[in-house]
A and B are shown apart, each in its own frame.
Chain A
Amino acid sequence: MTNSTEHFDTFLAISAWLTGYEPVELQGTGMVQTYYSTLRENITAIDLDAFFAESDFILAKAQTDVDAAKVRTASHLMQNSSFNSLGKQIILMWYIGQWFADPSGDPNNSVQINAQSYVEALMWPTADTHPPGAKEPGFGSWAVKPVSVDTFNVTL
């Protein structure tokens, strides 16, 4: 049996690698611990050990050869047969805030992790919008360009 914090750092690092967000941005959602606990509740320790061993390998590879690490990710983490689609489950968890029991099967078979996971889902900042009913951008904000576009000179 693994202890409750083993793989925590790897989880954060592979989450960043799989979502394209920086670890510090993922920490800023306040969801890292919640999602890590969700993994531990839904996946057996043996399967987690295997997944994180592969994750450590890919992350180490990425230090020296990013392209090779990407190829390895596609072939070893993204296939339907890879760790029962755990890589996809992690991506969906971060982007949608839901746990998909079988992401390769019925797409409706998911549960909302908690209320905060809706608010902090990465799909909102990715689309430069906000979760309806939460993180409201203020009265009249619809009349101006999204803040980040204006502030940080992002080219659309």
Chain B
Amino acid sequence: MNAIIQQRQGRKRHKRKTHDKCYKKCGTISSVKDLRRHLQTAIEIEHATLPPYLTALYSIKEGTNAFSYQTIQSVAMEEMLHMILACNILNAIGGHPAINKKRFVPSYPGYLPHSNNSFIVGLGKFSPEAIDTFLEIELPAQAGAPAQPDHWDTIGQFYEAIEYALCHFDLVTEGGIFTGDKSYQLDENDYYGGGGKLFKVYNLPRAIVAIQEILSQGEGMSDSIFDSDEMFGEEIDIAHYYKFNEIKEGRRYTLNGTPEKPPCGEKVDVDYDEVYNMAPNPSIKNYPEGSPLWQQTNEFNKTYMALLDSIHDAVNGNPDELKRAVPLMFDIKYKAIALMKTPYKDGMTAGPSFEFVK
């Protein structure tokens, strides 16, 4: 861990983040309070990707599309990790993640929180259109693209602004901004599985490593298709954008793969027909209140709420609560699949709606 931090700090771009330059690049992030608000948005963005990814994942029929299933699953697991890492950063600077509130739950179809509203994200079955949307979500920032605290073009540019603000406010605040209660931090003892690593954040270098982990897994290291898992002592792995591109192209990248070229490795089977034919963007509003599908959907949503409650408590002082979230995550999967096996209309099935309920 320390070696990684030293390596990170040694990188040119962080050395250049001196006080003045950071301040200029914070953009509209004007105070620590405002920075906390942006980190809350970061948590919301990470979470907002999960219902679309999980819906596509669970629509794949058992025993088919093994490559696509494992790919989407690994991405979803890492998004959960990113969400908790973002919670750690927010807790580290004395904020309080708000997970189980109505405004936290996105509505689909819709835009990702605080984005430039250039693409719409919905809940749909595994399909070429879904993969295209996933590629939009994970699109790498162009080299030299500016930090963007609001109306971001790419998630990377949004985090870049947060990173500058963390540097700036930590420098100009007496005693620094990393004053949060350390017992609120979650680490690898609380979370397992998936690539990457969950670790405690209690100073600026760790916050920067956390952001770099989030970005490199999502979009890749600036000019590479690979993420930084190797630095965490894990197998070499490619970033989310390129993982989805493998599905789109039906081919793996090779170790010589680059962002400019399509993957040219071995072929993978992608069969968009071996999928439950879920009607897009399920909603409880589609069913008469009290009807069987209304009840099934309501039970799904209640389980989803119980999961958000659990995560909320886990990142607000009760890390053990994350263990209670595990069976809820599995239950959500089984309930989602059951809905996708249930006929709805026009030859299409019902599906998980991920809606807020009290």
Contacts and interface: CB of A to CB of B under 8 A. Distances in A.
B338 A138 contact: no
Contacts of A43: none
A28 B326 contact: no
Contacts, number: 61
B296 interface: yes
B19 interface: no
A139 B192 CA distance: 10
Given A152-B299, A152-B302, A28 B341 contact: yes
Interface string B204-235: 00000000000000000000000000000000
Interface stretch (A68-76, A80-88, A143-151): A143-151
Contact of B323 (A22, A144, A146): A144
Nearest to B63: A115
Given A138-B326, A139-B192, A144-B324, A27 B343 contact: yes
Nearest to B62: A116
Interface string A1-39: 000000000000000000000111101111000000000
A130 to B, nearest CB: 9
A27 B342 contact: yes
B172 interface: no
B328 interface: yes
B299 A29 contact: no
B292 A137 contact: no
Given A140-B323, A150-B306, A28 B328 contact: no
A24 B296 contact: yes
A150 B219 CA distance: 39
B330 A141 contact: yes
Interface in A123-156: 135-141, 143-144, 146-148, 150-152
Nearest to B61: A30
B259 to A, nearest CB: 36
Contacts of B339: 28
A15 B80 CA distance: 40
Q: Is the interface of B mostly helix, strand, loop or mixed?
A: helix
Interface in B115-171: none
B327 A144 contact: yes
B214 to A, nearest CB: 24
B342 A137 contact: no
A125 to B, nearest CB: 9
Interface in B295-320: 295-296, 299, 302-303, 306
B334 A141 contact: no
B239 interface: no
B329 interface: yes
Contacts of A27: 341-343
Contacts of B324: 144
Contacts of A137: 326-327, 330-331
B270 interface: no
Given A22-B292, A151-B302, A141 B62 contact: no
Contacts of A147: 303, 306, 327-328, 331
Contacts of B192: 139
Contacts of A135: 330, 334
Contacts of A151: 299, 302-303, 306, 328, 331
Contacts of B247: none
B112 interface: no
B296 A28 contact: yes
Given A24-B292, A24-B296, A28-B338, A143 B323 contact: yes
B274 to A, nearest CB: 13
B327 A138 contact: yes
B293 interface: yes
A24 B330 contact: no
A37 to B, nearest CB: 16
Contacts of B329: 138
Nearest to B329: A138
B241 to A, nearest CB: 29
A140 B341 contact: no
A132 to B, nearest CB: 14
19 contacts: A24-B295, A24-B342, A27-B343, A28-B341, A29-B338, A29-B341, A30-B338, A30-B341, A137-B327, A137-B330, A138-B326, A138-B329, A141-B330, A147-B303, A147-B327, A147-B331, A151-B299, A151-B303, A152-B299
Interface of A: 22-25, 27-30, 116, 135-141, 143-144, 146-148, 150-152
Given A29-B338, A29-B341, A140-B326, 19 more contacts: A24-B293, A27-B341, A28-B296, A28-B339, A28-B341, A30-B341, A135-B330, A137-B330, A137-B331, A139-B326, A141-B326, A141-B327, A144-B323, A144-B324, A144-B327, A147-B327, A148-B331, A151-B299, A151-B303
